[in-house]
Structure 1
Amino acid sequence: MLPFEGVPQNRRRRAFLSRGLWLGWLRESSSGTLFLAVAVGAVTGFAAIGFRYLITGVTWLFTGYHDYAGLGRVAWGHWPGLGVWFLLLAPVVAGAIYGPVVYRFAPEARGHGVPEVMYAVTEQKGRIAPRVVVLKALASALCIGGGGSVGREGPIVQIGSAAGSTIAQVTRLDTPRVRLLVACGAAGGISATFNAPLAGLFFAMELILRNFAVESFGAVVLSSVTASVVGRAVVGDEAFLTLPDFAVRHPAEYLLYLLLGLVVGTVGVCFSKVLYAVEDFCDWIWRGPQWARPAVGGLLLGAVLLMLPQMYGVGYPVLESAVEGEYVLGMLVLLLVGKMVATSLTIGIGGSGGVFAPTLFIGAMAGTAFGQIVHHLLPTVTQSPGAYGLVGMAAALGGATRAPITAVIILFELTGEYTAILPLMTAVAVATGVSRLLSQDTIYTRKLLRRGIDLEQPHGPFATVSAGDLARAAPRPLLDTADLTTVATALEKSALGILPVLDRDGRYRGCVSARDIAEALDDSYQPESVAHLVKYLPAVTADATFHDTLAALSGYGGTGLPVVDPDHTKVIGWITYEDLLTVLHR
């Protein structure tokens, strides 16, 4: 039976009209966008809670405990007689389930999630397949619950972004709004997971949208706040991490935090390089079908868990124990290296999970180890080692992701200590700077660079168009020795009102305008040549991109600008807004 069969004609007409007005409001108005942002935040908040419980349930099925990482070397909860040997089998069984599912139905669900979202926003107009919501949650829960040493933040960012993209596609929004709702979903995922709405906001703006446009800010704020409210209403208002109090004991500690940023920033970059080196090794050595890779590789991961069971799952209990001072220096270093290896191996064998939490874990281990060393050397000057562990978490995140605002905000929200702001900013700024010195990419962008996608380069239909492609022939230039009368005559014949000026050797010196000549002719003092009236305009190089050219023309729309060679010595063309509009029309 059709939806409107048996309904009077006038009622059908009113129903269609009402539906059209409703969809029109959602698609075209700012208030409709804000309404959808709230909806995305609510959906993502509930998805984050459900995903969290799903991981807990799967972990219990595989281990007999809700979180195994912090228990140490304990026997299997379902059958203690098996001892700890179940650790060898758990990743194999989990991989045997999620491997074929991911391979068959959603290959994009493999990996750590955030690069896939960045790729969708940049290259796919924000379109993410709706099936990712379910399959990413299932695959990641099985991977983490089955011993995979990865985080839940990356998956929930991808799940939230997929939810936002699905809502945008159902309501048939235009591309900018689709991308905006994808960012809203990412913000909601971080917000609900960490109970940190500010961190969710800046994560989405800094990493997903990669700009802080005012038009996007309000919608992302609403989505992040909504997801946080949903999370707090269901699981409570307390942070999921129990962290020690923070204080700065002596002003000299700021120098130590600067050094901490240098050390931990280097560690964060090393983690990124190890992650992809292990993935390359797994790609090189594996010759079987991809759907079987997680199960076979799970044997190696299980061996790592047998040696270091603290690597099981996300590992937040181990992180808390480290910053609270329960591990000696040697154990901290072992946990740091073990996490790098276990996380890299989990991703390398085809696991599904994030690297956000492992980065925090590694930073906490490195920071606490650093704190133990400086506290031993300067006991009266330094705070407890755990304080350095907290700042190390943010520094590692800043170094690995190169998102300093997110790194500072998330640790501030987790600790609630305003006194931590200056040490956090100091260490994160240094760590981010170190990251830029040591690597051209981040832990997220490297995955895209390996596919040939550079987010730093312009994208879109005009990404490959340069100023040299658009330039018209340059007007006949003037010599800087020409007198005013000659220049005035040449400008009178020119439609541009401005002409380039060259020196005796034919090198570009600048431009002279009709206005400058008119003012000089009216002045009582008239220079002998045009050389004194030449102004060096911001010439456009031939290899300048479409967007750089558009920016350079701002303020020179009526006259245009010269196009010069890379050395800025030779005029090879001229470009105006009209040339850009011709390309847009074409």
Structure 2
Amino acid sequence: MSLTRTLRRALSLVPRRARGVVYAPGRMASGAWDRFVEWFNELDLSENAVLLGFAVLVGMAGAMSVVGLYKLIDLAYAIFFRWPATWMPAFGPYVTRPLITAAAMVTAWWIMRRFAPGEEGMTVPDVQRRVVRAGGRIPADTALVRTAAAAATLGGGASAGSEGPVAVLGSAAGSLLSRLFRFGADRTTLLVAAGAAAAISAAFNAPLAGAFFALEEILGGLSVAAFPVVVVASVVAAVISRAVFGNHPAFPIPIEYSYNHLWEVGLAYPLLGVIVGVVSAWFIRSYFRFAQAEVSAGRAAAGGALVGLMVAASGGLLVGTGHLAIPLDVFGTMVWWMIALLAVGKIVATGLTLGWGGSGGVFTPSLYVGAATGGAFGAGVLALFPSATMQPAAYGIVGMGATVAAATGAPITGILMVFEMTDDYAIMLPLMLTTAIAMVVTRRLQPDNLYSGWLRRRGINLEHGVDRDLLAGLTVADAIDRSAIVVQAGDPVDGLIRRFAFADQTVYPVVDERRRLLGVVTLRSLGLLAQGEQPPDPGLTARDVAAPTEALTLDVTLLEVVRRLGAQGIAALPVVDAPSSRVLGTIGRAGILARYGRAMADRTG
């Protein structure tokens, strides 16, 4: 009962209007806050000033969310381990570990089922889903419930990452601020990403990795508008984190390492990339096999007991996030096959934890699996060739970044995370090479990563932050530009150059006297003709320079249009009437984005 009362008390501190997914500004009670918000929104502030100012606030909130989660994990550890130790008989780790971890898993399962049913499992994909499908509106109560469940999971010794819960907390802080100030979907999305960046930055003491995590995973790609916002939030969070926890890497590197021979970069690291790619694909498939099962209290207890047994058998090296174990299994004196067993054990333990009722993230377990895979590879090569001067530690470090990239689909984040942990630019060459190869191998064996697979199994198909299902439901008829300029076949080229020198349209359909499509002339091709050594022949016409092109009809989906635009490397394609081939207009990326934005606005209200 005390846990229930604690959760309810925590939720009572959140303004009721900011808790739910659906928010209607008109429902806000009138009062001082409403007058303040109206006054603030009427100020003549630039967009950048508003976003950067709120990025500072979100960065502070993201850092404090990390502190709060760690305090909750400490509390859960005291409840599950320290308190029972005062009265339980000393049965030994093979009895106490399974019992305690089973109790923790059941507690986490109950918290989620009681307060946030249907939200079990991983956490970061849920933020991705809400950014795309709910305009970035993340309910604060769900974030708090996830935090409590993750604290129980990790405090009880189960295997999961802490980055997921803190990313949700940071994102929820950005969403809450945005809703309280009645911001639109665009600002909300940016502040949600800023919150995730701040949380990752504070949790790992890695501001660069935190910023790019938000760009790659939350927003689905690099964005000029989002970059300063997430960077400011990430830096603010890192400053606060260092003041609270100290300025040291999340995973300490206790020994010196180096890259001694050219053959390592030319042979050893590419081979490591292949191995990491295979292991990452297995990690992804293994997780989703565990996640297929229907979760119940009994399954959560069984999963916790199995994880507890594995933790006991490993001497504690598989417990929790693995922050303390990575230096031991990678940089210690263990033989290669023991390190490899730890990689296998972490994959299985994480699948049991997150698939059978626990709550947490997969980012930190991916670091662990990569460290163990790389460390085992390095130790194995050294065992086969004792005269080699290579250092297994270097392979463990590279394996960490490569596995994160391959398993989560965030290559820049994985590379920067390891770079910030080592503070050594020399590691970049083998790290980038290994990461690239690992990603190619993983995608060949397993199209989905850990995040996108979670979404796809729930009927959500996202790619680069875009809802593919929404694009598939729209057609060319919804986004055609019927006002596009067309060019007659006989129009002289020199006239076209003068006419379109400063035009916004970049692709011009060339038509005959019946307006039937003959090809296209692009602004780029006209520019090349204008820059030639000789002016264009006065007799040269649009028909002479028209390039063949694919034409679209009104019933083609926008998802297919995006694919064809990318395949042809062109900004727009002509749209024709199917029976007559008459040109009706054009469709390009700008029109698709505008129509997609309107559809998203209609969906989110």
Per-residue CA distance 1:45-104 (angstroms, 9 max, x = gap)? 011022123213322432349xxxxxxxxx968756222111121122223323222112
In structure 2, what is the equivalent of residue 98 of structure 1? 108
Look up the SS of the partner of 2:308 in the other structure.
helix
What is the alpha-carbon distance in structure 2 between the residues aligned to residue 245 and residue 563 of structure 1? 65
Compared CA separation, residues 325 and 196, structure 1 to 2 (3 A): same
Please report the TM-score for the alignment, with normalisation by the length of structure 2.
0.77
In structure 2, what is the equivalent of residue 82 of structure 1? 91
Counterpart pick for 2:558 among 532, 545, 560 = 545
Look up the SS of the partner of 1:574 in the other structure.
strand
CA contact (8 A) 1:246 1:417 kept: no
Look up the SS of the partner of 1:383 in the other structure.
coil
C-alpha deviation, 1:371, in angstroms: 0.2
In structure 2, what is the equivalent of residue 184 of structure 1? 194
In structure 1, what is the equivalent of residue 382 of structure 2? 375
> Are residues 1:196 and 2:206 paired?
yes
> Are residues 1:442 and 2:453 paired?
no
> Are residues 1:263 and 2:270 paired?
no
C-alpha deviation, 1:315, in angstroms: 1.9
Per-residue CA distance 1:254-305 (angstroms, 9 max, x = gap)? 021121111112211110110001221x23xx6xxx4664235433433434
Compared CA separation, residues 556 and 53, structure 1 to 2 (3 A): closer
C-alpha deviation, 1:396, in angstroms: 0.7
What is the alpha-carbon distance in structure 2 between the residues aligned to residue 279 and residue 442 of structure 1? 14
Counterpart pick for 2:474 among 465, 488, 511 = 465
Aligned pairs for 1:231-250 (under 5 A) are 231-243=241-253, 244-250=255-261
Counterpart pick for 1:428 among 418, 431, 435 = 435
Aligned pairs for 1:157-236 (under 5 A) are 157-236=167-246
Counterpart pick for 1:316 among 323, 340, 351 = 323
Of stretches 161-170 and 55-64 in structure 1, the one that deviates more from structure 2 is 55-64
Look up the SS of the partner of 2:511 in the other structure.
strand
CA contact (8 A) 1:473 1:574 kept: yes
Please report the TM-score for the alignment, with normalisation by the length of structure 1.
0.80
In structure 1, what is the equivalent of residue 73 of structure 2? 55
Compared CA separation, residues 376 and 173, structure 1 to 2 (3 A): same
CA contact (8 A) 2:406 2:439 kept: yes
In structure 1, what is the equivalent of residue 10 of structure 2? none
What is the alpha-carbon distance in structure 2 between the residues aligned to residue 77 and residue 394 of structure 1? 41
CA contact (8 A) 1:103 1:291 kept: no
Compared CA separation, residues 251 and 293, structure 1 to 2 (3 A): same
In structure 2, what is the equivalent of residue 20 of structure 1? 38
Look up the SS of the partner of 1:317 in the other structure.
coil
Compared CA separation, residues 570 and 537, structure 1 to 2 (3 A): farther
Per-residue CA distance 1:425-454 (angstroms, 9 max, x = gap)? 111111112222222211110011111211
Compared CA separation, residues 77 and 236, structure 1 to 2 (3 A): farther
Compared CA separation, residues 252 and 295, structure 1 to 2 (3 A): same
Look up the SS of the partner of 1:81 in the other structure.
coil
Compared CA separation, residues 24 and 89, structure 1 to 2 (3 A): farther
What is the alpha-carbon distance in structure 1 between the residues aligned to residue 481 and residue 209 of structure 2? 48
Residue 310 of structure 2 aligns with an amino acid whose one-letter code is: V
> Are residues 1:454 and 2:461 paired?
yes
CA contact (8 A) 1:106 1:135 kept: yes
Per-residue CA distance 1:392-447 (angstroms, 9 max, x = gap)? 01111111112111111000001111211111111111111222222221111001
What is the alpha-carbon distance in structure 2 between the residues aligned to residue 19 and residue 135 of structure 1? 28
C-alpha deviation, 1:382, in angstroms: 4.3
What is the alpha-carbon distance in structure 1 between the residues aligned to residue 33 and residue 307 of structure 2? 58
Look up the SS of the partner of 1:246 in the other structure.
coil
Residue 38 of structure 2 aligns with an amino acid whose one-letter code is: G
What is the alpha-carbon distance in structure 1 between the residues aligned to residue 383 and residue 102 of structure 2? 43
Per-residue CA distance 1:231-259 (angstroms, 9 max, x = gap)? 01111112232213331111221021121
In structure 2, what is the equivalent of residue 9 of structure 1? none
What is the alpha-carbon distance in structure 2 between the residues aligned to residue 215 and residue 525 of structure 1? 45
What is the alpha-carbon distance in structure 1 between the residues aligned to residue 426 and residue 211 of structure 2? 22
Per-residue CA distance 1:452-487 (angstroms, 9 max, x = gap)? 211126559765222266669999x9999x999xxx
CA contact (8 A) 2:55 2:232 kept: yes
Look up the SS of the partner of 2:262 in the other structure.
coil
Aligned pairs for 1:235-384 (under 5 A) are 235-243=245-253, 244-255=255-266, 256-280=268-292, 282-283=293-294, 290=296, 293-308=299-314, 309-384=316-391
Residue 196 of structure 1 aligns with an amino acid whose one-letter code is: A
Residue 282 of structure 2 aligns with an amino acid whose one-letter code is: C
What is the alpha-carbon distance in structure 1 between the residues aligned to residue 563 and residue 92 of structure 2? 67
CA contact (8 A) 1:126 1:182 kept: yes
Aligned pairs for 1:126-165 (under 5 A) are 126-165=136-175
What is the alpha-carbon distance in structure 2 between the residues aligned to residue 182 and residue 327 of structure 1? 42
Identity of aligned pairs, percent?
33
Compared CA separation, residues 317 and 563, structure 1 to 2 (3 A): same
Of stretches 346-355 and 430-439 in structure 1, the one that deviates more from structure 2 is 430-439
- CA RMSD of superposed structures (Å): 4.2
> Are residues 1:34 and 2:38 paired?
no
Counterpart pick for 2:519 among 502, 510, 524 = 510
Per-residue CA distance 1:31-56 (angstroms, 9 max, x = gap)? 12111111111011011022123213
CA contact (8 A) 2:131 2:218 kept: yes
Counterpart pick for 1:561 among 574, 577, 595 = 574
CA contact (8 A) 1:144 1:314 kept: yes
Of stretches 187-196 and 291-300 in structure 1, the one that deviates more from structure 2 is 291-300
Compared CA separation, residues 537 and 167, structure 1 to 2 (3 A): farther
Residue 52 of structure 1 aligns with an amino acid whose one-letter code is: Y
Compared CA separation, residues 271 and 570, structure 1 to 2 (3 A): farther
Compared CA separation, residues 440 and 573, structure 1 to 2 (3 A): farther
Compared CA separation, residues 113 and 479, structure 1 to 2 (3 A): closer
CA contact (8 A) 1:26 1:33 kept: no
Residue 119 of structure 1 aligns with an amino acid whose one-letter code is: R
What is the alpha-carbon distance in structure 2 between the residues aligned to residue 227 and residue 319 of structure 1? 25
C-alpha deviation, 1:556, in angstroms: 9.2
Residue 97 of structure 1 aligns with an amino acid whose one-letter code is: T
CA contact (8 A) 1:512 1:533 kept: no
Could you list the runs of 5+ residues in structure 1 that have no partner in the other structure? 1-11, 66-74, 485-495
What is the alpha-carbon distance in structure 2 between the residues aligned to residue 429 and residue 42 of structure 1? 34
Q: Which has the larger radius of gyration?
A: 1
> Are residues 1:387 and 2:400 paired?
no
Compared CA separation, residues 434 and 306, structure 1 to 2 (3 A): same
CA contact (8 A) 1:253 1:382 kept: no
Per-residue CA distance 1:510-547 (angstroms, 9 max, x = gap)? 2589xx9xx9xxx99869xx896250265443325187
Look up the SS of the partner of 2:450 in the other structure.
coil
What is the alpha-carbon distance in structure 1 between the residues aligned to residue 80 and residue 230 of structure 2? 37
CA contact (8 A) 2:508 2:520 kept: no
CA contact (8 A) 2:105 2:353 kept: no
Residue 208 of structure 1 aligns with an amino acid whose one-letter code is: I
What is the alpha-carbon distance in structure 2 between the residues aligned to residue 201 and residue 222 of structure 1? 9
